[in-house]
A and B are shown apart, each in its own frame.
Chain A
């Protein structure tokens, strides 16, 4: 007999118990069948409870490790008067060795406290980072401070590889974002070294099938691209083009999410790619929907394209088309995903046209186009979310819809005339989109009813 699908929420079991009681009352099933069904799910339910309990232990232990680690950093930062240099170094090295030794013993040697053991190893990685800063403090080192974070990352990558520690992977993924941000903003560089480090993070996320780590790394890659684009434009001059680039990267992430098959090797990438892609796209278009921000970017007349922008923008555009076309040809996309892939291809063309013709348009026209693009995309993503049954997309779309309406509401009072055109266009788009949405919603509900009857 095949095992029932595990990891279902507790609410679902409560619902099932109620349904079984009703089925018994209605004579659909007898006592023996009810008992068999309940028994079938009991083991999965217990397993789920144990898993949730285990996760709680991990979360509590990680929180404890973070607090302890921060405490150690602050202790050394604030109370170093009473200790000699040698003692300070000895204490930090000793605490690293003790943390790693205890953690490894509990998790892999004794194996009686695997979750606590892994968390103590995680604490060891924080203490190692604290050690880098302590040594910088003791020896007054301040040359190129982002290197401290890089050394931290490089030191803990082997720990992820050997122990398969998710918490250390998340730590390293967050540190990678912090490192590239410090490096790029502090020293105005493109930081090309970020790309191989990012690739390592993605490989580790793949090895551990961690959607969270993949999502953090995808978000980090967009931070890297945005800052590198700003650096290439020497500041805010390239604000419009920088955010059309990040919007294009968002579309690329989205397409990647579409071609990850639910049962395939990359299924863990599906949801993070959808979330990172849609949030990045909407955030980017939302930012350039503000007149003041586009104006700060000295939009008027400056249509210079840097090599960085051209290479990455065109590269992303080609990747989107290649991934979408391959997805359609190879049959990796379902009928609904095919429609959304075609929509993404259209959006990528619109972004490309906007980016390469905005010099020919006046400021108001550019703002208007950006706003229409934002609201059309919001409505489209909600429709796609309904058709593909991805609540993440619906939620993201609705969140940016609310943000967009609030932002334009405030704009309205400052500058009424151009916004009247915008509201008319937005209203029309909403009416059409709302009708489509309602029709689709009914279709889905009808289909679901048919499916439940068939079952």
Chain B
């Protein structure tokens, strides 16, 4: 009985943690800049979260021979910012930096997964590589693979969230 308030506080803390998770993504989706990225999916299955489609973007693998970077070598798990520029319909990577650019240009935050030195290939995780779909829908999307585009929301701190999925230019909606 005496620890009733402490217990209530713990339950509130857990609810707040969940709401903060929602709030962070929601704010990115609501206030971020919408950009379109081209992708090619594969279909795994995750026990915790049902089916999802792995989204592999062109900006996931960066060739540092072609894109300017502020360092010769990046460590695994290092945070980086990739500046994006709209070229036609899609947004493409134009530079890589370990600091957030302060010139107002749009940059997406990522974590270096691998940096293969011989071919200067930089593999980056932006936290937008899964799109959750109803059970068994993942295979259908995989089979229907035509041109797949993803609309991403990027906020001013570089955080990104998946907004919409398009197959052959048509938005895929599950609810």
Contacts and interface: CB of A to CB of B under 8 A. Distances in A.
Contact of A136 (B49, B111, B125, B135): B49
Chain A CB within 10 Å, residue with most, of B26, B29, B134 = B134
Nearest to A140: B162
Contacts of B7: 100, 104, 108, 162-163
Chain B CB within 10 Å, residue with most, of A80, A93, A137, A140 = A140
Chain A CB within 10 Å, residue with most, of B9, B14, B76, B129 = B14
Contacts of A257: none
Interface residues of A, number: 45
Contacts of B131: 140
A83 interface: yes
A89 B50 contact: no
Contact of A135 (B6, B22, B52, B128): B22
A139 B25 contact: yes
A55 interface: no
B14 A128 contact: yes
Given A77-B48, A140-B130, A162-B7, A135 B21 contact: yes
B15 interface: yes
Nearest to A141: B25
Contacts of B15: 93, 96-97
Contacts of B11: 96-97, 100-101, 124
A127 B74 CA distance: 39
Contacts of A163: 7
A452 interface: no
A76 B134 CA distance: 10
Interface string B21-37: 11001100100000000
B129 A142 contact: yes
Nearest to B22: A135
Contacts of A2: none
Interface residues of B, number: 40
B18 A93 contact: yes
Interface string B164-175: 000000000011
A188 interface: yes
Given A97-B11, A108-B4, A140 B161 contact: yes
Given A78-B135, A96-B15, A108-B1, A139 B111 contact: no
B77 A187 contact: yes
Contacts of B18: 89, 92-93, 128, 131-132, 135
B127 interface: yes
A163 B8 CA distance: 12
Interface string A333-371: 000000000000000000000000000000000000000
Contact of A158 (B13, B125, B174): B13
Given A93-B15, A97-B11, A132-B21, A162 B6 contact: yes
Given A85-B175, A109-B1, A162-B6, A140 B14 contact: no
Contacts, number: 114
A391 B175 CA distance: 59
A313 interface: no
Nearest to A149: B48
Nearest to A88: B175
B1 A77 contact: no
Contacts of A128: 14, 18
B16 to A, nearest CB: 10
A48 B22 CA distance: 49
A104 B50 contact: no
A163 B9 CA distance: 13
B10 interface: yes
B1 A144 contact: no
Interface string A60-100: 00000000000001001111110111000100110011001
Interface of A: 73, 76-81, 83-85, 89, 92-93, 96-97, 100-101, 104, 108-109, 124, 128, 131-133, 135-144, 151, 155-156, 158-159, 162-163, 187-189
Given A78-B134, A108-B4, A142-B128, 18 more contacts: A80-B50, A80-B134, A89-B18, A100-B7, A104-B7, A108-B3, A109-B1, A109-B4, A132-B17, A136-B21, A138-B22, A142-B127, A144-B127, A155-B13, A155-B17, A159-B10, A162-B6, A187-B77
4 A-B pairs with least C-beta separation: A143-B127, A77-B50, A139-B25, A142-B130
